[in-house]
Amino acid sequence: MNRVRTIVPLVILFILVVAGVSYAQQASKLGIINSQKAFETSVEGRKILGQMQDRENKIKADIQKLDDSIRLLENKLSTGRLTMTNEALLGIQADIDKKTTERKRYEEDAAREAQQFSGNLVQKLRNEMVSIIDNLAKERGLELVLDLSAQSSVVTFSPTIDITDEVIRRYDQSKAATPPVKK
């Protein structure tokens, strides 16, 4: 009899715990987004990546021109060491130093501007996507949306809760419906 008194409350407690966990699983709905994929495959994301690549290519070309002009001066200095006056050699060395400083400043400024440029574009896209993610989460009754591309602790998930493709589709539709801004 004592054994029954001990087991019955444990069985009831177990049933309540299982029922509570089951209810909690049904009540909570999750969604998964891969923001990196959404960024790289959306029309606007690809456009931003292209703009960032164009800017990077321009910076590399400008730096290459500066490097070439420095190399020309260095060659002029090395070939003229025996025939040029000391003043001429010092003048060329001063030009090399000036160009080297100019190159370094340009590279630092361009890197800072490129980072700011890309940061602004990515932030704008992120804000627009978050709005779409929020609306989609409300539509589907999602209580939590996790980002796979962030350093999250998601180990496994059901593809049925992945909303990435839907977010990309809706984002691209929202951009297609918006008339382009004239510059």
Using one digit for the tens of pLDDT, what is the confidence trace for 144-175? 888 887 665 555 566 778 888 988 999 999 88
Q: How far apart are CA 166 and CA 183, in angstroms?
A: 31
What pLDDT score does 94 carry?
96
Assess contact for 63 and 106: CB atoms under 8 A: yes
Residue 105 CA to chain centroid, in angstroms? 26
Average model confidence (pLDDT) for the chain? 82
Share of the chain above pLDDT 70, in %: 77
Token match 């025939």: residue?
83
Using one digit for the tens of pLDDT, what is the confidence trace for 29-74? 888 888 888 889 999 999 999 999 999 999 999 999 999 999 999 9
Three-state DSSP state, 65: helix
Radius of gyration (C-alpha) of the chain in whole angstroms: 31
Neighbouring CB atoms inside 10 A of 73's CB total 19
- The yes-or-no verdict on residue 139 having pLDDT over 60 is yes
Residues contacting 140, CB < 8 A, separation 6+: 29, 31, 163
Residue 7 lies in a domain: no
Residue 5 lies in a domain: no
Calculate the alpha carbon distances from 137 to 13, 27, 62, 105, 140 in Å. Answer: 34, 14, 46, 47, 5
Residue 140 lies in a domain: yes
Residue 182 gets which letter from DSSP? Answer: P
Q: Tell me the mean pLDDT in the region 115-139.
A: 89
Whole-structure pTM over 0.75, yes or no?
A: no
What pLDDT score does 31 carry?
85
Amino acid at 68: D
Residue 127 buriedness (CB in 10 A; 0-12 / 13-18 / 19+): exposed
Q: Report the chain's terminal Cα–Cα distance, integer Å.
A: 87
Q: How far apart are CA 167 and CA 125, in angstroms?
A: 12
CATH number at residue 101: 3.30.910.20
Residue 167 lies in a domain: yes
Residue 13 lies in a domain: no
Domain that holds residue 91: 28-177
Residue 9 CA to chain centroid, in angstroms? 54
Residue 139 lies in a domain: yes
Residue 22 lies in a domain: no
Number of independent structural domains in the chain: 1
